[in-house]
Amino acid sequence: MVGRSADALDIRILNLLLENARYSAREIGARLGISTSTVISRMEALKEGGILRGFAAEIDYEKLGYGLTVVTEILVSRGKLLELEGEISKIHGVCAVYDVTGETDAIVISKFRNREELSRFTKSLLSMHFVERTNSHVVLTTVKEDFRLRM
């Protein structure tokens, strides 16, 4: 897999894993009409190539009490973006950290149980060296939240 991209069969395997990460190699093989050993070798190659990074449960965080989703824009001092993003990515509740183009340098998506957690998070960001400004947006309604991109 290293040095080559995923082919059509790899994509079909990945799509089944996106549908249900608990499918066994045997179930995937049966669905695709290929041998279990072919599925296993393809999945190993996808792992080695860094395409298949792991298997995760799909969780409804709101039902677990994380009712606030926040999108935070961050303006960072010159030359310190990667260092700062590394720090931010370790904070509890942070789901995604992105370098972006435009007027801000980074976008952070995070989840909180209440306003107090959000307040602590925002204040901790503002106290970090190299953070010049933040602009937070509280999500009112989640229309879609699914990072599983089917190919």
Q: Which domains does the chain have, with CATH numbers?
A: 8-48 (1.10.10.10), 61-138 (3.30.70.920)
User: Which residues of the chain fall below pLDDT 70?
Assistant: 1-4
Predicted pLDDT of residue 3 = 55
Sign (positive or negative) of CA dihedral 95, 100, 102, 105: positive
Burial code (b: 16+ CB inside 10 Å, e: under 16) for 13-50 equals bbebbeeeeebebeebbeebebeeeebeebbebbeeee
pTM: 0.82
Cβ atoms of 111 and 72 closer than 8 Å: no
The residue assigned the tokens 């050993």 is 37
pLDDT for 1 equals: 46
In angstroms, rounded to a whole number, what is the distance separating the alpha carbons of residues 25 and 22? 9
Given this model, what pLDDT does residue 80 score? 86
Q: Look at residue 147 in the predicted model and tell me its pLDDT.
A: 85
Cα–Cα dist 56/44, whole Å: 17
